[in-house]
Amino acid sequence: MIERYTLPEMGRVFSDAHKYELWCRVETLVLQAHAADGTVPADAVDPVRAAPPPTAERVAEIEAVTQHDVIAFLTAWADNTEPREAAAWVHFGMTSSDLLDTALAAQLVEATDILLAKADTLVAALRDHALEHRGTLRVGRTHGIHGEPDVWGHRVADFAFGLARSRDRLRRAREAVGVMAISGPVGTYSNIDPRVESYVAEHMGLRPAEVSTQVVLRDGISEWVSCLAITATVCEAIALEVRHGQRTEVRELWEPFGKGQKGSSAMPHKKNPILSERICGMARNVRAQIVPVMEGIPLWHERDISHSSTERISLPDAAVGTDYLLHLTTRLVTGLVVDTDRMRANLDSTHGLIYSSTVVSELIETGASREDVYALVQAAAMRTWDSGTPFRETLREEAAQRGVALDEGRLDEVCRPERFVRRLDPVFDRLAKLS
């Protein structure tokens, strides 16, 4: 992910410097376990533990010759070890994937914890915004066309619960990626005792894979990336709602617009939904990582590295992108401007057509057939669409022509937008408990 969209905390998780710190930690724990079993000299542990991680530049310099990143790392680290002879016991009995997969699991767990904290913040922001607007009337839309009265808090509540479910999926996916293996070539523990694997897992807060064939099967990592993609897409859903609400013809919602901010290089009047548009675009990048990572599940026999080059790009990009999306969406929600007057004006703009389904139900309760009632109400509605005459007038005229009696008082009662708010109390009661 380019620097423009990389926040510092997540950027460090996937930095080369941190990767080599984790590699040093894994190798040191393996060495300690071997020493405790008497497999390697005990006096090798302290010099290795004290050796600073190699720099990314030094590893890259050696890799240019070896064409093998793990060997380059081990060589560079050995150069930092005094006495250098102690480094001979590093990586004893291991294969490259033991180191790579174990350190990667630690990275993904760290990344997940950052994402979960940001998801908690966004869930809370959505919850609070929805509760604040539990009585803010607006028109509900289906197919982009006015439907029935609604409240803005109801729409936001849907996003709050959706993001909370995404967060909970990610919590479960944390377990799926927190899986390591130190089982040697082809995963048979031929040169390393399973006790070493258990020791490293315990000290790194990971769990050993039930089985590994030199590499950990990528179904867990695929699940993790899929959860990130769902989270990113819920953020996109929020942003898309704001983008529509900020259209000139709608004008119900506005992104935060700071002092000195410019909307257009050519048109000074513009206030564009740039945060929302960026969120929608970034979500595509996160979703795009699902297929490349999932295609790392099938590998040749016990191991190949066709997944390796993909994961070097896809896993950091998915994590960094989702991290940025959660940050940006929280900024959008907490700074969102809601034009309640415009919402009410838009609700009233179709001259009462939004009560057509309520009128249908009310007339059916008088004993008329649904087919007759629907035909009457539709005919009145079409006249309102064409002429702009208030729906109650066209309804009254159409009913008179068809010999249908209307209870005007009852229609006044059922065609009030406030009536629709009370029905949502259970939703907001559930939302208030969301954390």
Quote the DSSP letter at residue 4.
Answer: G
Count the Cβ atoms, other than its own, within 10 Å of residue 418: 10
Burial class (CB in 10 A: 0-12, 13-18, 19+), 433: exposed
Burial class (CB in 10 A: 0-12, 13-18, 19+), 172: exposed
Q: Which residues contact 432 (CB under 8 A, 6 or more apart)?
A: 127, 131
Measured CA angle at 54 (ends 53, 60), to 5 deg: 145
Q: Which residues contact 248 (CB under 8 A, 6 or more apart)?
A: none
Q: Which residues contact 121 (CB under 8 A, 6 or more apart)?
A: 326, 330
- Comparing CA positions, the residue from 404, 184, 203, 224 lying closest to residue 316 is 224
Measured CA angle at 317 (ends 52, 200), to 5 deg: 40
User: Do 236 and 316 meet the contact criterion of CB atoms below 8 Å apart?
Assistant: no
Amino acid occupying residue 23 = W
For 287-313, b/e burial (b = at least 16 CB within 10 A) is: bebbebbbebeebeeebeeebeebbee
End-to-end CA distance of the chain: 31
Count the Cβ atoms, other than its own, within 10 Å of residue 13: 22
- Comparing CA positions, the residue from 374, 369, 366, 370 lying closest to residue 398 is 374
Q: Tell how strand 137-142 and strand 145-151 pair up.
A: antiparallel
Residues marked as catalytic:
143, 264
